[in-house]
Amino acid sequence: DQQVKQNSPSLSVQEGRISILNCDYTNSMFDYFLWYKKYPAEGPTFLISISSIKDKNEDGRFTVFLNKSAKHLSLHIVPSQPGDSAVYFCAAKGRQGNLIFGKGTKLSVKP
Amino acid sequence: DAGVIQSPRHEVTEMGQEVTLRCKPISGHDYLFWYRQTMMRGLELLIYFNNNVPIDDSGMPEDRFSAKMPNASFSTLKIQPSEPRDSAVYFCASSLDLFNEKLFFGSGTQLSVL
């Protein structure tokens, strides 16, 4: 059973608008969450993270929000750019410290 | 540093054949991970090593899968015999610590088993 769920396989957004990527998790013991970005024919790369003691972390155009009661986090990209088109993976730090990834959401930003 | 290097980039083989995927981690990284990416399951952790020692192989799907790390600069993932359902992208990653945001991935090996 998936412990980290990304229920939207794809998302299409107009350039300049906001992109919102969602992620749900089932294990309330998870205490650290990350987003990775993956371009075609490349490996995933770290984008942004958040600790469970926070509800928001911002880095430039990227903001991650965490709602612990709902076991939900989201990644906001504002404004979206064509170069943001990629697959975005949500991940949680597992009990042993290894990362547990979701299935990914493919973001397409249209010019 | 050249980053994590995987070979081959693409592998096409027939069912029943042995497949060997290779990985060179970033020098100085103590942890090496093998992941598999599929549409159905996303990125799954297959196995990881610490200082060349396998720590957790609970993600290895079947006995047909095996992984070795004979030294700090080289690891292999072998599938014998291969099956069509093994078709996926296999990633190797390395990091300084077990939990580290800076988990560096290779470019992956696209495996197709016909």
User: Tens digits of per-residue pLDDT, A29-57?
Assistant: 898 999 999 999 899 999 999 999 999 99
C-alpha–C-alpha distance, residues B111 and B101, integer Å: 27
Over its length of 114 residues, how does chain B's per-residue pLDDT go in tens digits?
679 999 999 999 999 999 999 999 999 999 999 999 998 888 999 999 999 999 999 999 889 999 999 999 999 999 999 999 999 999 999 998 777 667 899 999 999 999
C-alpha–C-alpha distance, residues B101 and A110, integer Å: 30
Chain B positions with Cβ closer than 8 Å to A = 4, 33, 35, 39-45, 48, 56, 91, 93, 97-99, 101-108
Least CB–CB distance from B107: residue in A32, A42, A99:
A42
Residue B1, pLDDT score: 62
3-state secondary structure A35-96: EEEECCCCCCEEEEEEECCCCEEEECCEEEEEECCCCEEEEEECCCCHHHCEEEEEEEECCC
Contact between A54 and A7 under an 8 Å Cβ cutoff? The reply is no
Given a cut of 70, whether residue A1 has pLDDT beyond it is no
Range A61-65 contact pairs with CB under 8 angstroms and sequence separation of 24 or more: A62/A35, A64/A33, A64/A35
Sign of the torsion formed by the C-alpha atoms of A27, B87, B101 and B57: positive
User: Tens digits of per-residue pLDDT, A57-87?
Assistant: 999 999 999 999 999 999 999 999 999 999 9
Q: Which residues of A touch B93 (CB under 8 A)?
A: 43
Residue A39, pLDDT score: 96
Q: Do B107 and A97 touch (CB under 8 A)?
A: no
